A and B are shown apart, each in its own frame.
Chain A
């Protein structure tokens, strides 16, 4: 039974009378001048004034934008009338300086009312009828739902043990007291659950960066970009995917100050258009080739910072190989082709990456001589088959050009914010997980299929091997089970098997593709309907309050409330809540922030009274990562085995998997690429870029966003022409894993040979299994990267042809 539609109220515009009464009747001059013509109608006929609507009581609350995994943490002004949000504005604090800029919301925050009052919001708990995955549900009461959940939890714990539970990676809600950590806290009290490490966003770059720098904190505070003379935005698109509120604004300011900005990306992104002096298209998955060639040029032309390399790095050449690996291949060996016979010349790279050799040479020279320069590594280039290599290669370029530890430089890599790793300071206590075993976040389907056989070779940590398959999944704010995981058709088959996962509990705002597989589906309220607290998104220095603004409708509840009620059924309510409501936990979290990072932070009562919404620390002297190390590498060694920047990593060398995990950064041809035999059948590279119509898969179905950014396959006329595809045609995109049918948009803003299908669209299979909405994960693969065990979700080859419209 379909849940009843949420009643839609038509908002009518209330026109104020004030503006009208101030208009005076002017008689225009009779002249033939344009002014005269215009003045001729300055008179307004009061008979047609709008009917005045008596303004009712309206209050304004400053609140953090509901924190999805959007790349920003912004401040909203939420206007409420009669218990309903009627308008949303954004941060308008005076000042808007570089040190403390306004936190302006993007199009998605501005459209939020349409999500908040979307007719499809889940309203009541439901239980599955029919087979899992059919998406047929029956409404039940909360009591029945919670009883069933508690019973299943107890049963599975008794039969399989706690390692059979899994609270998957999910970032649909992503602040202190809402999201998966509320469930994890309960699980930990209940005996634990199988844990995970890394993420779908940053698996490769998180694993690879410490292999070079011994840490993930390789980024300066962003105001430092204004000290840079050169900014190389490599696969980085902050204007579109938002990488910390205001990042694109800081790059704009740096450019205003004189920095040269270059974008390297298969697409001419929103960032390339608005921030860059030059766009260099590059074949997806070949970034490490261009980086290697750039390093080659720097070696050949003696442009690299030999003094810095000598004092701060290991493995650059044979003079500085670590002990136990003296004879191994150094980076210089690799670049010059000393061992493999292939010098990584610009000519070699041009054939691989599609960038003209002269351009590679020029960019190498520009970046090496800029002094200082920023090479910012974005995340699309690492969410691929050998993403770790591109990350390491970029970090090495930053190192050999001496751009580490100096203002205006940037060490590259994951670049969490100096000095302490930056925002996402999780203060809400999940406690200790009695289950020590962890799997890579992307390998949960393996743990469902063959968990008992998983061990170190599958990335298991904390235990030699797993004891059980996953039998129970509790998905909170998570569409990463079905919609956002690689190879949707495969995942659907795995989850549909009720012998494997015996109980699937999903809580969400909408009936997402993941929710369709639920055994019990619980309706969660939105962030405006409960308390929350957030800080920055990766960068920033602020705390943002998310007060409860309106009441939760129907029977929706917050993630925290749901977990506490399940806790009650399990006899753990006191331990779980510690007597605190959502609001109490926010007050508690503010105390923690005050103790650790923001000593001047007001209390919750003070923040509510002032309605400030945000507490921010102006950044006047941006922190620079590795400043100490650069000054004195002996006194401040890195946390690497050698204490220095590891261009050659003995750790990786000792893994003895040189073909996929080389000790020095190498270009490795992807397992699905334009160069392999698969290209005969599937000649186009497909990438699933982040798109402003959604935050991943959140905000799907918001009409204001769909009209601004409709779901389309972006294809170059060079590829569309021979396929007789015209702009707006419906096309079929497919490979061995599945097929989607979607409308296309012809654009010159993408490299020939590459197509882009914005990620996050909800998988919508018709009765023949053909996805009609354009979910890129129908096409992506479940195969993971060798070092990080991460998702290689942009490594996709496809074919495209014109299709019949639906």
Chain B
């Protein structure tokens, strides 16, 4: 299960990027920002981060391939392969984020920037949608249940909101992060495939049932809950004029990230590959 770490990293990084971009685009499109609003500075630091996350994710998934240099044809099966589509929309998303950074450097107007951001959100949303679709194959009953999209969307929003708080800017990010992490946790407790209270166990199949001891799921939930708790403490204790990150934030982020990573590993562990259960002489 641990050998799936490139996929876990890809998923976490990709979801964080989508969440962070969506929030930043929403803020930029909805808030009336005056030209000298310090918010602008904050906004412009997030886009390189989004792009950076996506580049790292792309490189990880590229080099985890056994034959990366045959991958030039990886978009060839867009019509039927959800993996082709996921990569396409990821590339489109990256392109739009990079394009937006270029436009900022060229001092494009707010109208143009907002259009690009909307397009980027769309691309990011489709990226997330096709990422979810990847796992929702009818032949994978363990993954094709409600818990998968709930978990992926929940993670995106939670990680995106938490990423906002790392950069600071407005106090409102903190309760927003509290909200989305809380929702993600509730969704997880109820719907996580294999471990959620309302999740479906699939029927017997030609794959062994690979549910790890529930200790690990509870550990993931627990760490994230502690992170959430600390976030609430911070929310209650910093002033409304807070603009910069608080050192305690680092611990929150670490805990929440750890919880997300553990639970993502458990997710991947549910569907084993033949080599995982076969003895290798």
Contacts and interface: CB of A to CB of B under 8 A. Distances in A.
12 contacts: A37-B80, A40-B79, A40-B80, A41-B77, A41-B80, A703-B281, A706-B281, A707-B278, A707-B279, A707-B280, A707-B281, A710-B279
Contacts of B279: 707, 710
Contacts of A706: 281
A457 B77 CA distance: 82
Interface in B261-281: 278-281
A584 B230 CA distance: 91
Residue among A41, A703, A710 facing the most chain B CB atoms (10 A cut-off):
A41
A77 B21 CA distance: 65
A289 B235 CA distance: 81
A703 B280 CA distance: 9
A37 B79 CA distance: 9
Nearest to A707: B281
Given A40-B80, A41-B80, A706-B281, 9 more contacts: A37-B80, A40-B79, A41-B77, A703-B281, A707-B278, A707-B279, A707-B280, A707-B281, A710-B279
A538 B7 CA distance: 58
A514 to B, nearest CB: 24
Interface residues of B, number: 7
A703 B77 CA distance: 38
Contacts of A40: 79-80
Interface residues of A, number: 7
Interface of A: 37, 40-41, 703, 706-707, 710
Contacts of B281: 703, 706-707
Contacts of A710: 279
Nearest to B73: A45
Chain A CB count within 10 A is highest, among B77, B278, B281, for B281
Nearest to A703: B281
Contacts of B278: 707
Contacts of A707: 278-281
Sorted nearest first, the 10 A-B pairs with minimum C-beta distance are: A703-B281, A707-B281, A40-B79, A706-B281, A40-B80, A37-B80, A707-B279, A710-B279, A41-B77, A41-B80
Contacts of A37: 80
A217 B181 CA distance: 82
A41 B281 CA distance: 36
Nearest to B79: A40
Contacts of B77: 41
B76 to A, nearest CB: 8
A37 B281 CA distance: 39
Nearest to A30: B79
Contacts of A703: 281
A703 B279 CA distance: 11
Interface string B71-104: 0000001011000000000000000000000000
B56 to A, nearest CB: 30
A235 to B, nearest CB: 30
Contacts of B280: 707
B169 to A, nearest CB: 47
A346 B207 CA distance: 45
A707 B279 CA distance: 7
Contacts of B80: 37, 40-41
B213 to A, nearest CB: 13
A710 B80 CA distance: 40
Nearest to A38: B80
Interface string B237-281: 000000000000000000000000000000000000000001111
A451 B136 CA distance: 75
Interface centre among B80, B278, B280 (most CB of A within 10 A): B80
